[in-house]
Chains A and B, each alone.
Chain A
Amino acid sequence: MIIVGAGPAGITAGVYAARKKLDSMVVSLDVGGQAAWSGDVENYTGYQFISGPELAQKFQEHILKYGNLLKENEDVVEVGKQGKLFRVSTDKAVYQARSVIVASGKKSRQLGVPGEKEFKNRGLTYCATCDGPLFSGKAVAVVGGGNSALDAAMQMTRIAKRVYMLNINNSLSGDEVMRQKVEGSGNVEIFNNAEVLSVSGGKFVSGIRIKQPAGERDLAVEGVFVEIGLVPNSSFVREVKKNGYGEIIVNARNETSVPGLFAAGDVTDVPEKQIIIAAGEGAKAALSAFRYLSVNRFSGNG
């Protein structure tokens, strides 16, 4: 069995699969998924407080206890079924499995405007927590209006000279407490109904163009933090039913529309994207896959 993704769902599925003595492997670009990018985690039972990177480290230690089951730094590009076997192709190799669990999570949504690709890591970033400190004393823009955007804005008010929040809706949508904190800090300016048109600069970002009902406007910024939500990493599985957001549709047993293909965590249509929910879903998917493999009693070459 192959598990795609090593976030909370994938790692937990891997642990359960190992304990059921399934011949399994977790293939992933990184370990920890979005959990590794979270700041503080205070709602994962058993840990009153743990940082995202630390929790990711614990996940990794847990699965490695069962052997070298982790293939890191491999990007899965396609999962397809041929007869009773699945083919999992990565940027480095091709694997075969009788069952696959997709636990590939979500990634940052992109703006899709000119300058975004060119200036990525040249002033434009999707991780305020990582790159924020490099913008000390500078003017920056945070794009978005939800909690992650507020969180980024809050971090940047302490570091940057000036923070522009560019929100496409007519009011911020994040939690009231966060909103008040951001609105109350002296160096933030909030632009509602603001659509980003382009990011510009020379070697590094020097400005961002926005459109508001009143017209277009250029802001001089050296940093652009994109915090406009997430999209599921599901494009590498083509022949599976997905909802309008691209999330893989699963039932209560984590079964997808393809027999033998299971999915778990944030990549699925399960409501509430939480570390602990993803972990639980991963466990459930592994147990379902175990049942599928026992019932189908694969023999010989499958």
Chain B
Amino acid sequence: MKNVKVYSTPTCPWCIRLKQFLLENNVAFENIDVSSDQAAGEEMMRKSGQMGVPVLDIDGQIIVGFDRGRIKDILGV
């Protein structure tokens, strides 16, 4: 089972779509709301080297944005 973290804000449409996609594919994930947790926001910036949401962390592999192709490859769904 892969450790999946989603860094997101509640208002960004791509974050919503990404989370929906994970739910549809039965992928368990931890949602980290960077709008209410500044430290988490900084962690996201450090990991991804940028400030846009969403950011996906799959066992340390970082994906910026809702890159469906790469997410599918890594998760094997």
Which residue numbers of A lie inside 8 Å of B, CB to CB?
Answer: 30-32, 36-37, 39, 52-53, 56-57, 73, 121-123, 125, 127, 129-134, 136-137, 203-204
Which residue numbers of B lie inside 8 Å of A, CB to CB?
Answer: 9, 11-17, 34-36, 38, 41, 44-45, 49-53, 64, 68-69
Contact of A121 with B68 in the complex, beta carbons under 8 Å: no
6 examples of A-B residue contacts, CB within 8 angstroms: A130-B12, A130-B52, A133-B35, A134-B9, A204-B45, A204-B51
How far is the CB of B40 from the nearest CB of chain A, in Å? 10
User: Who on chain B is nearest to A130 by CB?
Assistant: B12
Contact of A53 with B16 in the complex, beta carbons under 8 Å: yes
The residue that A133 contacts in the complex, of B16, B41, B69, with Cβ under 8 A, is B41
Q: Hey, which chain B residues are within 8 Å of A56, CB to CB?
A: 13
The residue that B34 contacts in the complex, of A30, A134, A204, with Cβ under 8 A, is A134
List 17 extra interface pairs beyond A121-B50, A121-B52, A137-B38, CB under 8 A: A30-B14, A36-B13, A53-B11, A121-B51, A125-B52, A127-B12, A129-B12, A130-B9, A130-B11, A130-B12, A130-B15, A130-B52, A130-B53, A131-B51, A134-B44, A136-B41, A203-B49
Contact of A134 with B45 in the complex, beta carbons under 8 Å: yes
How far is the CB of A92 from the nearest CB of chain B, in Å? 10
User: Who on chain B is nearest to A36 by CB?
Assistant: B13
Q: Which 8 A-B pairs have the closest CB atoms?
A: A133-B35, A130-B12, A121-B52, A36-B13, A121-B50, A129-B11, A134-B41, A53-B16
How far apart are the CA atoms of A39 and B41 in the complex, in Å? 22
Contact of B11 with A39 in the complex, beta carbons under 8 Å: yes
Contact of B52 with A30 in the complex, beta carbons under 8 Å: no
Q: Hey, which chain A residues are within 8 Å of B49, CB to CB?
A: 122, 203
Contact of A32 with B13 in the complex, beta carbons under 8 Å: yes
Contact of A125 with B51 in the complex, beta carbons under 8 Å: yes
Contact of B64 with A131 in the complex, beta carbons under 8 Å: no
Q: Hey, which chain B residues are within 8 Å of A133, CB to CB?
A: 9, 34-36, 41
Q: Hey, which chain B residues are within 8 Å of A203, CB to CB?
A: 49
Known: A121-B51, A125-B52. A131 touches B38 (CB 8 A): no
Give the residue among B11, B45, B50, B53 with the most A Cβ atoms within 10 A: B11
Q: Hey, which chain B residues are within 8 Å of A36, CB to CB?
A: 13
How far apart are the CA atoms of A62 and B64 in the complex, in Å? 29
How far apart are the CA atoms of A95 and B34 in the complex, in Å? 40
The residue that B51 contacts in the complex, of A32, A73, A134, with Cβ under 8 A, is A134
Known: A73-B68, A122-B51, A131-B51. A30 touches B38 (CB 8 A): no
Q: Hey, which chain B residues are within 8 Å of A52, CB to CB?
A: 13
Give the residue among A30, A39, A123, A134 with the most B Cβ atoms within 10 A: A134
Q: Hey, which chain A residues are within 8 Å of B64, CB to CB?
A: 121
Known: A121-B51, A121-B64. A131 touches B45 (CB 8 A): no
How far is the CB of A295 from the nearest CB of chain B, in Å? 39
Contact of A131 with B9 in the complex, beta carbons under 8 Å: yes
